[in-house]
Amino acid sequence: MPSPGNTAERPTPESCGLPVSDGISWLELMAADSRPAPDVLVTPSYQNRGSTPISAARYTSEHFARLERERMWPRVWQFAAREEDLPDPGDYVVYENAGRSFLISRQDDGSVRAMHNVCLHRGRKLRTEDGSADRFVCPFHGFAWNKDGSFNHMPCKWDFQHLDEAKLSLPPVEVGRWGGYIFLREEPGGPSLEEFLAPLPDHFKRWRHEECVTVMWVSKEVPANWKVTAEAFMEAWHTVVTHPQLLPFTGDCNSAYWTWGDHVNVNLVPFGTMSPHLDPSGKSEQWIVDQFVKYNGRSGDNYDAAADPYAVSVPEGMTAREALGARMRAAYTAQTGYDHEDATDAELLDALVYNVFPNFAPWGGFMPNIVYRWRPGKTPDTCIMEVRILMRVKKGEKHPRGVPMKFLRLDQKWTEAPELGILGDVFEQDMDNLPYVQEGLHASKTGKVQLGNYQEIRIRQFQQTLDRYLGIAEGSDGADA
């Protein structure tokens, strides 16, 4: 077995100028891991970004939502689909966001094209659901386009002699592909997808999301602004009040918060270790594991009812993290056919939650990976939140088609999607907060939101990047824009 990393060679939080809470830090946990940790997990990237308050109107104002629609959404790379959503030629996906509708279509050569999903005759949407077709025929009058967006046919051509068929292609949209994900950008120009995502592709080389497939996908309308909802998943320290059942095995305030440039950040949340908020007296390593098995939202039994790889007995002298890591190392090797011998305990257990501006959040590591996406609703007071679970396709086997999305209405609960397992209960605890956050922002006397300098640094970066796209003063309501 490889020895743990040399603690003398690893940075400490203090040496990096990072704020620290009581209890063992993320970097100290990595130094004690049963495998040497990759550089991406032990190289902090933090800078204090100031403490300017955020205007509450950013979350409630239709004017601000309009600025986002006009100045931000068209100019960013948006995660729009996974490759397994449209595996065969002719397969297409309808992607809608911020008032736009797009068709993403698989071509005969395996490439992907994207175009606006609007008939150029009278403006009807060409498609409202995913499917497969070599032509997109408008259900209103029969104007038709090929799956690459080029014009195909119009009825009563004699009545449209003023139209040049060579100029009737559906307006195209930029397409970028990485790691099994398909991205769109409405307005051309700006950074390439690789530049926009950096350093995410380098970090995820080890975790190979291109070898994964969507095995669960649930979407729900939420009674809160898309930024309110997204930001609830950008920090772990709400666990102490919102998710107290997770504290026995979650190092909530042991977490690391790092940012890179404008678009990418991460929250590294350790599992299999007790929260510093709890009194450890009389609590054994086995107790930590038992609580983990009971409440962990990604347990193997959510995906394979015949297996429970987290049910382990902790040997004498071994920590809960080491015992869980050893069991998962063997389980994932058996399940996938890929060798996980060098996988750290962290990569097998922990929530390595990355965010890519503005609304894409893939989890790193080797376990079944969660992927979040948030989209604005019809008003600033609602949004759509999506949760996918990716699992690695067994080595040598063909990638299956991904599962379809299940949609939950505003009046439904996450727990009405049984495939979520205990994650549904955790999300419902978040939902107990979010509508009242939205109402509170409307009712706020000060009209301001305050952020912590470390545990909420990801929110700070997110808001500052939004400022730059909108061309407004930091934290402002954009009223002068």
Asked if 463 and 57 count as a contact pair (C-beta separation under 8 A), the reply is no
DSSP state of 99: T
**Picking from 139-153, 316-330, 456-470, which range would have the lowest pLDDT averaged per residue?**
316-330
Q: What is the mean pLDDT of the chain?
A: 92
First to last CA, the chain: 60
Question: Confidence class of residue 370 from pLDDT cuts 50, 70 and 90?
Answer: very high
The full 3-state SS of 244-312, as one line of letters, equals HHHHHHECHHHCEEEEECCCEEEEEECECCCCCCCCCCCCCHHHHHHHHHHHCCCCHHHCCCCCCCCCC
Q: Is 415 helix (H, G, I), strand (E, B) or coil?
A: helix
Q: What is the mean pLDDT of residues 445-452?
A: 97
- β-strand pairing of 135-137 with 131-132: unpaired
* Cβ(199)–Cβ(356) below 8 Å: no
- Find out whether 5 and 33 touch, Cβ atoms under 8 Å: yes
Contact 413, 428 (CB under 8 A): yes
Which of 102-116, 325-339, 380-394, 464-478 shows the lowest per-residue confidence on average (mean pLDDT)? 325-339
**115 DSSP β-pair partners:** 103, 172
In this prediction, residue 207 carries a pLDDT of 97
- The pLDDT tens digits for 238-257 are 887 888 888 888 888 889 99
User: Which residues, in sequence order, are bridge partners of residue 217?
Assistant: 388
Report the C-alpha gap between 261 and 45 in whole angstroms. 10
Please write the tens of the pLDDT for every residue from 95-142.
999 999 999 999 999 999 999 999 999 999 999 999 999 999 999 999
Q: Cα separation of 110 and 88, whole Å? A: 8
Structure token digits, residue 110: 């395996």
The pLDDT of residue 3 is: 34
Beta bridge partners of 174: 185
Phi, psi of 280 (to 5 degrees): -75, -5
- 105 phi/psi in degrees, rounded to 5: -125, 130
Instruction: Provide the pLDDT for residue 303.
Output: 37
- Please report which confidence band the pLDDT of residue 295 belongs to, taking 50, 70 and 90 as the band edges: confident
What average pLDDT does the segment 402-406 reach?
Answer: 96
Q: What is the mean pLDDT of residues 220-231?
A: 98
Average pLDDT over residues 160-179: 97
Residue 8 in this model has a pLDDT that exceeds 50: no
Tens digits of residue pLDDT in 252-289: 888 999 999 999 999 999 998 988 888 888 899 999 98
Whether the pLDDT of residue 7 is over 70: the answer is no
| Contact between 385 and 405 (Cβ < 8 Å) | no
Instruction: Give kind and range of the element (H or E) at residue 351.
Output: strand 351-356
pLDDT at 78 over 80: yes
C-alpha to C-alpha distances, 211 to 126, 132, 337, 387, 465, nearest whole angstrom: 32, 24, 12, 19, 31
Compute how many other C-beta atoms are within 10 angstroms of the C-beta atom of residue 85.
24
Phi, psi of 357 (to 5 degrees): -60, 140
Cis peptide before 358 (omega within 30 of 0): yes
10, 374, 427 from 422: Cα distances, Å: 36, 21, 9
> What mean pLDDT comes out for the span 43-49?
93
Whether the per-residue pLDDT at 339 is higher than 90: the answer is yes
Q: Is residue 302 pLDDT above 90, yes or no?
A: no
pLDDT of residue 308: 59
Percent of the chain with pLDDT over 90: 80
Label the pairing between strands 100-106 and 112-116.
antiparallel
